Amino acid sequence: MAAMPFAALGLAPPVLKGVRAAGYTEPTPIQAKAIPLILQGGDIIGAAQTGTGKTAAFVLPILTRLLGGKKRLRALVLTPTRELAAQVETNARDYARFTDLRVGVVYGGVPIPPQEKMLGRQGLDLLVATPGRLLDLHGRGVVRLDEIEILVLDEADRMVDMGFAPDLNRIIRLLPTERQTMMFSATMPPELNRVATAALREPARVDLAPPSRPAAGITQAVYPVPKHRKTELLDAILRRHDVGSVIVFARTKHGADRLAKTLSRKGHSVATLHGNRSQGQRERALGDLRRGRVQVLVATDIASRGIDVDGITHVINYDVPHTPEDYVHRIGRTGRVDAVGDAFTLMSPEEKKEVVAIERFLGDTILRVMMPDFDYDTRKPDLGLPGPKAYGAPTQGSAGAGPGGSRPATPSGRRPRKALPFERRPRRR
């Protein structure tokens, strides 16, 4: 794809000068997509994460829109943390240095009086703030929000995670209804969805990483593996550093027991959960998982009904579920609270048909991934597996490639397009 120059995006000359001085030669994908949309004045939802250049994607068009207007506080950027607020302000100042626009920042955790003074002294055009501190300052009458024309909710899912939803709603009610609103968020938990519904009008979506269907935030992947190597692969996955509490699903009670025993022998702390257990026994097993007394819970589908555990980092389907509904139900066990979780499915060649049925149900393909450095033992001729190379082994940060990358077509014939589970994950707190 030919790169589009910054100059073609419609930014004002002094803003372009700031961009050049920052050393950027061409826009990142989200900048190329979002800047023209934002300049048109419509609302947008951006699914981009930090590191994609999203700050400039909203700051540059905002500066352009603010130029030449009346000198009032007209743009507000809300962020979850002091660090992010400071970073956004630093960038904004940098991009604004060839303009007469003034940028300021306020956040909690530091004394209020200097911020009060700063707001009183300076006629700001753009303010970056954390929600709680902004409301405090507004309550003291030192900041006016009734002329805000542009609102940005940056890392909105984190703000909601941190309990800022009521503050956001309060702030939004203080703003003029006639305004442009932009929301950037990696995921869309239900509470954020409500905030967004109230704050945004017919937003355009700028997705760099399209959210998965069953619940945004869950990263799904299929690991093709010969049947006889499944347990070894599971063992290898469980040893990965980012794997915390895990529910492993097996089809049968006996399968679950056998697997639990093998995993214990390999040194994992394991509990099992299958049918015929009382609610009390289930709660105990789940409690052990929740408190970290065991890392792995091996469960069957029947037992999974009603499981609700916070903080599960991974659901692993040791066996492909019988039905697509079971699949959605199983993977709904992760990604509940911080809406981040990985759902992996170990797929033997015999199980391909079921996976294709699941994909048809989801209306989307699930990315095939290979565990780097794992011995798939593909010498056996009857496995029907492509060699690891055919999948482009996703070592950390390498593949993901994007359009034109060398990722293979999936069994259903479409090209996978999701980020690999190892990349672009939202930072965990």
- The residue among 391, 381, 348 whose CA lies nearest residue 234 is 348
Give the span between the Cα atoms of 253 and 231, in whole angstroms: 16
Joined together, the tokens standing for residue 219 give 């990263």
Give the span between the Cα atoms of 257 and 250, in whole angstroms: 9
93 vs 274 by CB, closer to ligand AMP: 93
- The residue among 73, 1, 64, 13 whose CA lies nearest residue 35 is 64
4 vs 118 by CB, closer to ligand AMP: 4
Binding of ligand AMP at residue 28 (CB under 6 A)? Answer: yes
Tell me the sheet residues that pair with 314: 246, 342
> Any alpha helices (H) in 189-229, and if so which ranges?
190-199
Binding of ligand AMP at residue 79 (CB under 6 A)? Answer: no
- Least distance (Å) between residue 22 CB and ligand AMP: 6
Tell me the sheet residues that pair with 299: 249, 273
Contact predicate 6/23, CB 8 Å: no
Binding of ligand AMP at residue 31 (CB under 6 A)? Answer: yes
Contact predicate 370/391, CB 8 Å: yes
- Least distance (Å) between residue 429 CB and ligand AMP: 17
- Least distance (Å) between residue 83 CB and ligand AMP: 11
Position with the least CB separation from ligand AMP? 55
Give the span between the Cα atoms of 338 and 162, in whole angstroms: 10
- Least distance (Å) between residue 70 CB and ligand AMP: 28
Candidates 27, 80, 416, 426; binder of ligand AMP (CB under 6 A) is 27
Binding of ligand AMP at residue 187 (CB under 6 A)? Answer: no
- Least distance (Å) between residue 116 CB and ligand AMP: 29
Give the span between the Cα atoms of 199 and 179, in whole angstroms: 10
Candidates 15, 44, 55, 418; binder of ligand AMP (CB under 6 A) is 55
Stretch that binds ligand AMP, among 22-30, 70-78, 209-217, 335-343 (CB under 6 A): 22-30
- Least distance (Å) between residue 26 CB and ligand AMP: 6
Binding of ligand AMP at residue 262 (CB under 6 A)? Answer: no
Joined together, the tokens standing for residue 141 give 């009458």
Binding of ligand AMP at residue 163 (CB under 6 A)? Answer: no
- Least distance (Å) between residue 27 CB and ligand AMP: 5
Give the span between the Cα atoms of 218 and 212, in whole angstroms: 7
Candidates 10, 17, 24, 357; binder of ligand AMP (CB under 6 A) is 24
Task: From residue 179, give the alpha-carbon distance in Å to each of 74, 147, 149, 154, 199.
Answer: 10, 9, 5, 16, 10
Under the rule (CB under 6 A), what is the footprint of ligand AMP?
Answer: 24, 27-28, 31, 50-56
